Each structure stands twice: as C-alpha cells, then as structure tokens.
Amino acid sequence: MEAGTLTLQIPSMVSLPFYGGRPYSKENESSLVDGNGNVDSIKIRKRPTMLVLPEYCPEKEFILEKRKIENVEVEINDRDYVVLSKKGTRENMEDRFKVITHVFGDPKQAFFSVIDGHGGVGAADYVADNLGNNILNSLQNHDGQRVEEAIREGYLNTDKDFLTQGVSSGACAASVIIRGGELYIANVGDCRVVLSKRRIATTLTNDHNLSNQYERSRIQSSGGFVHSCNGVWRLQGTLAVSRAIGDLQFKDWIISDPEIHKISLTSDSDFLIMASDGLWDKVSEQEAVDIVSMEKANNAMKCCKKLVDISFSRGNKDDITVMIIYLQNFVVA
C-alpha cells in the first residue's frame, strides 16, 4: 500500500449480475407484416426480455463460497477525516472508499471518494483502485493548471479501462479534490457530497437517476427503455441510475461523464459529509449536518455510527459508507 493511501478492503465473494433485459438494438425491433407478407415501415420496440442467470457468474477468480459475509464494518479515524462503512443485507458488501492524502507532498492537498457498486463488486473494486490515481496522473500531466479537465479525464479513462475487462457490474462514485484552498467536487450516480457551512447544509452534487427529467429524456431519446417500477424509474426495468462507471450492457445510455463543481474553502467552512445513497435515502442533508455538528467536537466516529444506525432503523437495507472531512485542516493561510 502506498504511503498516504487508504482503500477499503473487503473479502470478495462470488456475485451475480442483477441485470435483466437486452440493450435496445435492431435485433430487438419487430416489423409489422400484413396478411400478404408485406413488411410495414412502422417499427415496434419490444420490451426487453429477462435474462436467466446461471447458478453463479464469478467476475474474478474468487473462491466460491455459499456463506454470506455478516456484519462487515470498517472504521478509520484520522486527523483529517473519519469514515465508517457498514454492510447491509445483501450477500456482498459493494461499497468502497478511497483516500489519498499529502498529494504531491502537500498536506493541504487530498483526494477523497465514496463508491457504491451495483451488480457485483468488480466495478467498485476497480474504481477504488484506479479513479484517484487516474485523476492525479492527469492533473500532473496538465501541470496542475486544469483541475476540472483532469478530473473528467480521470473518470472517463477509468470507465474506458474497466470496460475492456468485459465485466458487467457498475459503480456510482463521488469524489473531492482539495487543492490550493479550493474544493473540486465530482460525481456520477447517486453518492452525495454535503457541505456544512455555519451548520447550514448545502448539497454539492446532483443525483444522476431516472427521476431526473433531463437524464430520463437523454436516455429515452437514444432508444433506452425507461419505465417506473413501484414508483422508481428504471432503465431496462433494472438500473435506477443514469450515470456510472462500468455497466457494460447499458453503455449506449449510461455515461461516465462526471458533473463537476468548484467552491472555495473559507474560515466558516465546517466539514463535508460524503456518503452512499444508503444514508441519503433515509436521512436528510440538514439532519445529517445537525447530528455531526452536535457531536463532532467530542467524537466524529460516533456521529458516523449514529447516522448509520438512524438509516437502518428507518428501514434501509443497503450498504452505507459515511465519510466526514474536517475542512479547516485544509484552509490555506
């Protein structure tokens, strides 16, 4: 492990892709044929059929085990941040995170990311191992002048390289680079970054899911099949996010181009909360900031545990990763 780098490591298990259906293509179209055998010019798009999964579909050379990983919980308590990652009720823990401190030897520069995998652990593992390094390599190649361009290259290159492996899983990710007294926030999917400034919550990311009219229209206009399942909009009847790294079979519609925002650190910037959607589905941004604000001075890890416990008590079954970053440690004098 390289100095200044922390990566969540969870024992990998065999995972089954949960996707059903086929990408829209000419093969998925049927022509109308009249009684004389003449083909009508009108096309009808078929609803995608469901895939039958084999008994197991290992994405890597994992040891085959039938037992579940129970009560997976990872805690890290550092001078600049704390993070708690806890497994939900699924067979595999699909959340990951990555922290790189002292970037280019500067204690005021750091990279943080929270990753939420779906359809298996392959994409989540790959993003944790490569996204931060790809962004920092691009940043170094640009002489550190075009940070947003380096971030975009890092996301797109990570996606491109992962797709060459032919693995079907995907991953949402949110990342933060702190550099020169500035925050650069990027995301694909529904991991979220929230700023506390004078104890007021401000959400710094937009969720990329199919309830977003722009995202839904973008996918539908390119031939994607989108419909609502129990109140949740899904692509091909399965995937609820519209941007992610990976998702090979949906790549005609799922993009990895991140949304990027930049803000300046100030003396009244308190902290960031980065978390996977397992938290945000049950806990509001202001509620999370209130809880951390009340307890952080005493025990920030206690705040993470309280947030996670609240989410599970309200019915969450998903994996949860919560990271709190102390922004005052990065303010440039």
Sorted by where each starts, the structural domains of the chain and their CATH numbers stand as 5-14+62-130+169-208+259-330 (3.60.40.10)
| Calpha distance 5→3 (Å, rounded) | 6
| Calpha distance 114→324 (Å, rounded) | 11
pLDDT (average), residues 45-63: 37
Q: State whether residue 330 is helix, strand or coil.
A: helix
| Res 54 pLDDT > 60 | no
HEC per residue, 19-41? CCCCCCCHHHEEEEECCCCCEEE
Decide: pTM greater than 0.95.
no
For residue range 63-87, what is the model confidence (pLDDT) as tens digits? Answer: 223 233 445 789 999 999 999 999 9
pLDDT (average), residues 180-197: 97
pLDDT (average), residues 102-121: 96
For residue range 243-292, what is the model confidence (pLDDT) as tens digits? Answer: 999 999 999 999 999 999 999 999 999 999 999 999 999 999 999 999 99
